[in-house]
Amino acid sequence: MADPLRKAGELRVLAVAAECFPLIKTGGLADVVGALPGALAAEGIAVRTLLPGYPAVMAALRDAATVHSLAQLHGEPARVLAGRAAGLDLLVLDAPHLYARPGNPYGGPNGEWPDNGVRFAALAQVAAAIGHGAVRGYVPDIIQAHDWHAGLVPAYLHYDQRPRPATVMTIHNLAYQGQFPGDMLATLGLPPQAFTYDGVESYGAIGFLKAGIALADRVTTVSPSYAAEILTNEGSMGLGDLLNRRVSALSGILNGIDDTLWNPATDMHLASRFTATDLAARAPNKAALQARLGLDRDPGALLVGVVSRLTWQKGMDLLLAALPVLLRGGGQLAMLGSGDQDLERGFADAAGRHPGRVGAWIGYDEALAHRVQGGADAILVPSRFEPCGLTQLAALRYGAIPVVARVGGLADSVVDAGDANLASGAATGVHFAPVTQQQLEAALDRTLVLWREPWQWRRLQARAMGTDVGWTRAAQRYGKLFRDLVSSRARGDDRVPGLA
């Protein structure tokens, strides 16, 4: 379909996601979906992002026009609005019966919404319809499906005989697969032949992410190490056979962070802005953070920060267990997080038991996240697995030394302060492996030793702050992947690689 509005050489990508910063966010997925379009624009790739019309998205949408109407979508009328918000080009699925609800994208006060299968299948169905030309004057070359919420996009396109855009399934976290009962097949508008190992069936259920992995032209994940880990028994979360079959279509591209949003030289959340050549200006941020979290105002104590969901994945139970080692070494903990009740209680108790040494802020607070990054001396990320991780990238940029488990994107983005890396000046943080309490304790001890050598610490900070954590490199890699994919399909090679 020729399109007079298309610029020469421009590639059109429709991103489909459940979250997008700054409109709606529960985790790193939103950061990536919000930042990638801007970075890809520099590569000649025009991204539009299809989001569910949650109240927060509807409220932010500007210059909205209806570009597609559906007489009914799972029982009620719906429409697609085109508009802009937060500098992003959006398509918004306005379906109040599915999305006009309070709470986060996935649930309300009483837990997850029981109709999440339908809610996100609807998003994917509409994305597929747009891929087939439902919006006049706009046909994407590629649809990029982010995480399980968009996992059915490749399936709807695959089981339709019409020509279709290319598809890319991007895995931000394999642990969340979106499994729904097999008897929903017809409700979700999938044909009976889709319920196979090569299709949407996953352990007797319908697996949204599994379907995307099976049926997309390319599968990406958010770091090279995680791409390797998900091929192993331990890391594959039950999808190892499939992922190994699709290995020729699989690649890992390390995320970046928005380095204008996360910039210590301009960050208005900070008490004092600073640069790598003016680290003295960092000190007031530490004092402000200590005051905010009720910690002793002690410039000499190693202040370890955490900004995290409180879950098993993030190794937060290990941190609670290893806390005595940090405190014995004179350190302090500044913890910002929310999640599992046991862990929330554990950190609140620890703060009660160690007043002035452990500060815990249970909740979600974007401004405080910046203040922890700008005020803590180190940022701890003891994840059992971590597809990419964004907090260690912000930590590098803010000169808070990342202390990380050697897994996934943490291993790919932080250079361990082993003897050789210290000697060469390449080190930017501290690694530990395997992810056990004992190794975490050893890492905290190593960090305390480094802290006691101020010149060594400053060297680590300078190198960390010089690390390129922006999106440019990742955007170039996505750009190449997208262009290669479109060319290979233009050559007629549009087999889904790895499928029988």
Residues contributing to the site for ligand ADP (CB under 6 A): 27-29, 31, 307-309, 336-338, 364-366, 369, 388-391
Peptide bond before 163: cis, by omega within 30 degrees of 0?
A: no
Residue 430: CA count within 13 A, CB half-sphere: 26
Q: How far is the CB of 136 from ligand ADP (least distance, A)?
A: 36
Coil/strand/helix, residue 108: strand
Task: Provide the token pair at 10.
Answer: 């421009």
* Cβ-based nearer residue to ligand ADP, 384 or 459: 384
CB-CB contact of 189 with 118 (8 Å): no
Q: Kindly state the smallest distance separating residue 410's Cβ from ligand ADP, in Å.
A: 9
Nearer to ligand ADP, 365 or 494 (CB): 365
The order of strands in the sheet holding 201-202 is: 179-180, 205-207, 201-202
Contact between 294 and 359 (Cβ < 8 Å): yes
Longest dimension (CA), the chain: 68
Q: How far is the CB of 440 from ligand ADP (least distance, A)?
A: 18
Cβ at position 390, least distance to ligand ADP in Å: 4
Spatial separation of the C-alpha atoms in residues 176 and 174, rounded to whole Å: 5
Based on CB atoms, which residue is closest to ligand ADP, 16 or 82?
Answer: 16
Residue (369 or 465) nearer to ligand ADP, CB = 369
**223-238 core/surface letters (b: 16 or more CB in 10 A; e: else):** bbbbbebbeeeebbbe
**CB closest to ligand ADP, residue no:** 28
The least CB distance from residue 309 to ligand ADP, in Å, is 4
As measured in angstroms, the least distance from the Cβ of 28 to ligand ADP is 2
- In one-letter notation, the amino acid at residue 274 is F
Closer CB to ligand ADP, residue 56 or residue 499?
Answer: 56
Q: Please identify, using beta-carbon distances, which residue of 179 and 338 lies nearer to ligand ADP.
A: 338
By beta-carbon proximity to ligand ADP, the closer residue of 141 and 377 is: 377
Describe the chain by its helix, strand, coil percentages, rounded to 5.
Answer: 40, 20, 40
Cα–Cα distance measured from residue 320 to residue 437, given in angstroms and rounded to the nearest whole number: 9
Closest distance between ligand ADP and the C-beta of residue 481, in Å?
Answer: 21
One-letter amino acid of 90: L
Structure-block tokens of residue 425: 């000046």
